[in-house]
Amino acid sequence: MKLEKMVIANASALSTAILWTICSIGVALMPDFVETVRGWMMHGATMSGSLEVNFGSYLMGGISLVIMAWIWGWLFGWAWEYVSKK
């Protein structure tokens, strides 16, 4: 299947805009939780710059990253179908 550049670009832009909006709402409504997830995603990094890498931060960061990747993939697939009129 030949990939169409404009469809890929449009689907990527649309899915990113939706996720950016969801993320911004999450930060506004649950800043402490989002900060915790950010720490997991940065391998246990804290705002002071110290690293606290442990099995818990590894596991939770990996789980949250995989969940976000699945959501992005699903949303990208939806956006692809939407912009390609399928």
Q: Where are the domains of the chain?
A: 31-44+52-86
Which pLDDT band holds residue 47 (cuts at 50, 70, 90)? low
Distances (CA, A) of 70 to 2, 11, 42, 84: 23, 15, 19, 21
- Predicted structure pTM score: 0.67
pLDDT of residue 50: 65
79, exposed or middle or buried, with CB in 10 Å at 0-12, 13-18, 19+?
Answer: buried
pLDDT of residue 46: 64
Q: Residue 1 pLDDT more than 60?
A: no
Residue 42 makes CB contacts below 8 A (sequence gap 6+) with 61
Output 3 or 57, whichever has higher pLDDT: 57
Is residue 80 classed as helix, strand or coil in its secondary structure? helix
Which pLDDT band holds residue 54 (cuts at 50, 70, 90)? confident
